[in-house]
Every structure is written in C-alpha cells, then in structure tokens.
Amino acid sequence: MELVAGKKAVILGLGISGGAAVHYLRKRGLRVAVSEYRFADQLNQQEREFCQGVDLETGGHTEEFILQADYVVPSPGVPLDLAVLRVARDNNIPILGELALAAGEFPVPVIAVTGSNGKTTVTALIGEIARSSGYHPFVGGNIGTPLLSYLLSPEGYDLAVLELSSFQLELSGGFRPDVALLLNLSPDHLDRHGDMAAYARAKGRIMHNQQADDTAILGADDPMVMELAKDRLSRIRTFGYGADSQARIIESKVEVRQENRESFELAGTALDSKVNRLNAAAAVLAAQSIGMDNAGIRAGLAGFTPPEHRMTLVSEHGGVKFINDSKATNVGAMAAALESCPSGVILLAGGRNKGGDFTTVKELVREKVRSIICIGEAADLLYNTFADVARVEKVADMAAAVKRAASSAKVGQTVLLAPGCASFDMFTGYAERGKVFTDLVLALPERKELKRKTDD
C-alpha cells in the first residue's frame, strides 16, 4: 500500500519491531504515534529512545488514540482481535504489518523462509551459503535485525534472506518474495490463531502474491504444506525423504534432480541428522533458485554452524550428554528433538503452552524417554498427558530440573531440554531459557552417580 507523507501512523506495541517501525515511518515522512500496553516506567532505555519526538500512549490502548490514525501498524506480537483493531476496521483505517510496509521496497532479491520448525536454521544456512558464494546477504526478519531496519540502510547488500513468523505473515499485504520456503507445519501458536486451519492459512501467505517467475520451495513430506501449494502461480520445487522430491535425501546426501543430478554430501558436517538433512535440502534449492553455483553451496554446507539453542551439545558430563534445544517451543519441535536422540532420554519440558496437542507424541515418548521433568505453567498438562507412558515429575524451576536430571542420569543417557512450550512464563525468551540451562549444566559438580552403568 502506498504510504502518503504527512499522514499519521499509530504503532501498536513497542519492542524491537515497533521501534524499527517508528524510525522507518518517520523516514518515509509520516507523523508517528505509539500505543503501548505497558506503563511508561516499564519501558527500557532503548524503548524510550524509540519514542523520542512521537506521541506516546502507555498503560493500554484507547479508541480515541487509534481514531487519530490514518494507518495502524501492529507489532507482530500484538493479537489481531484487540478491541481497538476492531475499531480501526469499523472506521476503515488500514491495518498494516511490517511486511505490508516493506512490500515493493526491496532493492535486491528476497528469499523468505517460514515453517513451524527449522526456519531459523534454514535462514542462517542460506545466509552462510550465500556468503560462500560471494554474496553479501542481509539475514534477519524474525531473527536478528528487523526487516524495516534493513530498509532504512540497504546499501551494500545484494540479497535479503528473511525468517518470517505466522504473526508477520498475517498482515503481509502485497509482500512478494522471489523465493518462498514453507518447510513444514505442525501445531503452533494455536493460542493466537485459534485452530490449525487458520495457522496454516497464515503460513501459506508467504506464497500468496507470487507470480510465475517466482519460486516456492515446499516440504514434500508434509501433506498440509503440499495442500497449500494447490493453484499457486509460482514454480514449485520440493524437498524431502520421498522419491518424488526434487531435492531428495538419501542416507547422508541431498540429491537434486535436474538435467544432471547433483549430490551434496552432508556426512562430517553439522547438518548430518534427520532434521538438518531436510533443512539442508531446502537451503540447497533456495540457493540454486537464486543462481548460486554448486561449489559455493558445498562450501556453505561444510562450514555451517547451527544457531545456538538448537540441539546444541552443552556438555558430556560424567558420561551423560546434556543437549540444549530451548528453541523447541512447540510439540513438533519436541518430537523432532526426540527423534534425533537415542532411547533413554531424560526430557526437560514445559513452559507456556501454545495450544499444542501433546498426545500426538505419546508413542514417541514411550519409545525414547526414560523420564520427564516438568516446569512452568504447562507442568500439570504434561504430567497428566505422559504419566501413563513415562516416569514424570514436576519441579519448581530450571535449577531444580537440571539438578534432578543430573542426579538421576546414567552413563550413556541424554538430558534433553526440548520444552515443547513458549518460555514467557519464566523467561524473557527461548534464548534466556537456553542460557540458564547451559549455565546450570556447566556449573554441575562431578558426581559419582553419573559414573554408574545404566541398569534400567
């Protein structure tokens, strides 16, 4: 949508994305106001700096403040069923997300990545492959630098690689990426979207405006993803373990079917696991779609280090592996983490439930998990769900969970933090949760109990 200089935009919600929107809209010549549900004394120094020179409403959102707007710009975390947003709709005030603001403004090709699981890894991996291929990519969006901050200073970049959430895609407007990746779909954020169908529709919007000269890269092993691809105008390329995938995983290789078959070996890299082979296949297709050569792709795959808090081996302490997968914030990610581990897992789980159905992983828990240690708001739910298939106990916090896991683990077993839940009941985000876990593990004393042989 064309923004008109001199008009007024009201931004709902601060934080990093809201602050970037303030700067971006002011640079575009708009008058800017901010409405924030927190009180002024709860804002941090950076947020106060964002709001210098703009009208600021704190302590809630009022109709009067919204009605002064020519445009309303909700930050991605703001629920779209807020009463003031209904007021905006009733008064025909355009509601624009950051993707809608950015639509048509990118001076370089855009690769956009979404999915329930793996999108951060794939986004980072495409960035690594691009650098190995001689590109200077901007890598951000839902991770790192907000995309509106990039648009304030796009000079020097020749490619944009964006991780996008369902929250961002709900208000994507005319956003049209050159390459769109939809990796997979599993229940996530149902506390916001209401049901799986609405969540899938939000994710599918990544392809909504694509045309025949654009590319959509899809996880072929996921029927719901492939259903969303029907009647799309873009070129469809697929990846997966199945024989029909154009980038097919065979043992530790990604084999791409083209005029000449190309094989990308993952053995010996950080990507040689069931889940990361899929991530690598998606990234390979994205790189090829932009025109990167195979030598650069291979160099990027070989040199890639996965982001923190994603199946990160923290320590092998007394013969027990401690793995941090704090980024496993939904049921599907919990399942993927468990599938990557041998049997005998001590699972640390819990937090704020996002509407996921944990019964879908009960058989996997029965197969893989020796015991579950639950924390946070979802502890009772997890206890009631898994008590008949595993030993389950509830503890007060992460410190108690790590202490209990360390004292009960035996040689050859794995202590896995894969919460299956959001972190906001106890932490500022999954990164803080993962860091707390890591620090606690690294501070563990040597324990004779850990040196016993497994006897059950």
Q: Is the pLDDT of residue 269 over 80?
A: yes
Is the pLDDT assigned to residue 451 strictly greater than 60? no
Higher-confidence residue of 55 and 248: namely 248
Model pLDDT, residue 74: 94
SS3 359: helix
pLDDT at 76: 85
Cα 444 to Cα 317, 430, 432, 435, 447: the distances in Å are 8, 21, 19, 14, 8
The mean pLDDT of 29-48, rounded to a whole number, is 88
Q: For the ranges 202-206, 306-310, 341-345, 356-360, which has the lowest average pLDDT?
A: 306-310
Cβ neighbours, 10 Å, residue 133? 20
The pLDDT of residue 456 is above 50: no
Range from 46-50, 54-58, 306-310 that averages highest in pLDDT: 54-58
**Which band of pLDDT confidence, cut at 50, 70 and 90, is reported for residue 328?**
very high
Q: What percent of the chain has pLDDT over 70?
A: 96
Question: CA-CA distance, 394 to 189, in Å (whole number)?
Answer: 24
Q: Is it true that domain 100-303 has CATH number 3.10.450.40?
A: no
Rounded CA-CA distance 153/299 in Å is 29
- Does 455 score more than 80 pLDDT? no
CB 331 within 8 A of CB 359: no
Amino acid 187: pLDDT: 66
Topology annotation, domain 8-96: Rossmann fold (3.40.50)
Tokens of 30: 């708009």
Q: Which residue has the higher pLDDT, 435 or 2?
A: 435
Range(s) for CATH 3.40.1190.10 in the chain?
Answer: 100-303
Condensed to tens digits (0 to 9), the pLDDT of residues 129-165 reads: 999 999 999 999 988 899 999 999 999 999 999 999 9
DSSP 8-state secondary structure symbol assigned to residue 232: -
What are the backbone angles phi and psi of residue 217, rounded to the nearest 5°?
-115, 125
Q: Which tokens in the block code for residue 34?
A: 């901010």
Pairwise CA distance, residues 297 & 434, whole Å: 30
Question: CA separation (Å) from 79 to 21, 76, 376?
Answer: 17, 8, 23
- Between the alpha carbon of residue 166 and those of residues 142, 187, 353, 365, the distances in Å are 10, 12, 17, 28
Stated pTM of the model: 0.82
Work out the average pLDDT over 257-272. 88
**Over residues 210-234, mean pLDDT:** 93
- In sequence order, the 6+-apart residues with CB closer than 8 A to the CB of 230 are none
Q: Are strands 312-317 and 345-350 parallel, antiparallel or unpaired?
A: unpaired
Listed in order, the ranges of the chain carrying CATH 3.40.50.720 are 8-96
On the question of pLDDT at 408 being above 80, the answer is yes
Q: Looking at domain 312-451, which of 3.40.350.10, 3.40.1280.10, 3.40.50.10070, 3.90.190.20 is its CATH number?
A: 3.90.190.20
